[in-house]
Amino acid sequence: MAQYFDNLDKIVFEGADSTNPLAFKHYNANEKILGKTMAEHLRMAACYWHNFCWNGQDVFGQGTFGRPWLEAGDAMERARQKADVAFEFFSKLGIPYYCFHDIDVAPEGNSIREYINNFAAMTDVLEQKQAETGVKLLWGTANLFSNPRYAAGAATNPDPEVFSYGATQVFHAMNATQRLGGENYVLWGGREGYETLLNTDLRQEREQLGRFMQMVVEHKHKIGFKGMLLIEPKPQEPTKHQYDYDSATVYGFLKQFGLEKEFRVNIEANHATLAGHSFHHEVATAISLGIFGSIDANRGDAQNGWDTDQFPNSVEELSLVMYEILKAGGFSTGGFNFDAKLRRQSVDRYDLFHGHIGGMDHLALALKKAALLIEKDFLGQAVAKRYAGWSAPLGKGIVQGQHSLQSLAELVEQKQLSPQAVSGRQELLENQVNLVLYR
């Protein structure tokens, strides 16, 4: 296939004063921030599904994009054309990683044998494309939600044959991810939940899901996969209530089945807000629980009650998220994957670049702002001062189990303690943060 983006070579960094819409203003891959390059800090990826599998269709209208590789024709030939365009895009954008679902890259076919053969053939193609371009795989996954067989879930399906079919897809997707050097493997339970409790056995479904995840861990160790296993929380849509509601819920699930050392979470900004949380909250919660892994970078629309997957553009929000990540030592195997799609009216092929350039620049600017927050350290100092009492003898003794309710009651009475409220100085801290963000 001829080059699809034939009017463009490669996106380069031109600096904040550039007026070129097809150039980076803040993302300079080799610029050092706190001892690491931007590329090393951000580990950004573009996704296969929104960019190359969606034609602009929605529930009310036909596709608007007119992508030639999505037209009727030989399915495998179209899949190869799609790979050509995808890696042309990744290379010209200069993004170091990509992510995919199994049936994003290969036709599902009409039988399990066709699925296996098609996926194996396209894994060969992806391996060649990676070698030619140097683009790496951040993570792979299996689509266990689109086919009608998964209407009632995959791992939580009432039919064990559906469970088994889903397991087969994960088996092949994990093997392909390992072969392609993927640094993580993601499980998104898009339909692992319920529509109504009238026909649902919650205990049964949780047990099935727990066993499925245990099987994933067993296979990881069997094949020697060195990457991280990630679960992506989401509260609702498509199902009414999903078992991976948010980071805290996922942690409770992992503890129940003894999996808390084997999995981390892949947090999506838009999923966080659908759960009634901020993106910042979900990242901070995952870090505090020791299960932070990776991020799907996007944003939602506060006026819509569903997952709109727009490109991230709030530097303020991203800076606070980046601050938490930097404090925790940064990513290990994870990164920022743009799980974001164009608006249906953005029909120019180069809009794909505009969306990603903006997202990459916004993350780069947020990185620089978060680094200033780390260097100035006024937030860290304020938190340390606020909790200083827990480093003193009384606080240490409580945490270390040296006190009971009775001993504390006796101590308070003996010393006639009368603690008073101390200001949290929230407004002052907000002002100080804004002085960093907007200067």
The residues assigned a catalytic role are 101, 104
Going by C-alpha positions, the residue among 172, 149, 135 that lies closest to residue 48 is 135
Three-state SS for 323?
A: helix
Check if the beta carbon of residue 169 is closer than 8 Å to that of residue 163: no
- Tell me if 268 is assigned to a ligand binding site: yes
Q: Torsions phi, psi of 61, nearest 5?
A: -155, 165
- Tell me if 232 is assigned to a ligand binding site: yes
- Tell me if 307 is assigned to a ligand binding site: yes
Name residues whose C-beta falls within 8 Å of residue 408's C-beta, 6 or more positions apart in sequence: 398
Measured at the CA of 277, the angle between CA 272 and CA 282, to 5 degrees, comes to 60
Longest dimension (CA), the chain: 85
The β-bridge partners of 99 are 47, 139
Going by C-alpha positions, the residue among 142, 326, 266 that lies closest to residue 216 is 142
What b/e string do you get for 344-373 counting C-beta neighbours within 10 Å, with b at 16 or more? bebeebeebbebbbbbbbbbbbbbbbbbbb
- Tell me if 339 is assigned to a ligand binding site: yes
Three-state SS for 141?
A: strand
Distance CA(99)–CA(53), nearest Å, equals 13
Name residues whose C-beta falls within 8 Å of residue 191's C-beta, 6 or more positions apart in sequence: 144, 145, 150, 151, 152, 153, 154, 156, 238, 239, 242
- The DSSP letter of residue 312 is P
- Tell me if 361 is assigned to a ligand binding site: no
Q: DSSP for 89-126?
A: HHHHHT-SEEEEEHHHHS---SSHHHHHHHHHHHHHHH
**Placement of tokens 């629309």 in the chain:** 301
Check if the beta carbon of residue 24 is closer than 8 Å to that of residue 360: yes
- Tell me if 271 is assigned to a ligand binding site: yes
Distance CA(300)–CA(271), nearest Å, equals 8
- Output the known binding site for Mg(2+): 232, 268, 271, 296, 307, 309, 339
Q: Write out the binding residues.
A: 232, 268, 271, 296, 307, 309, 339
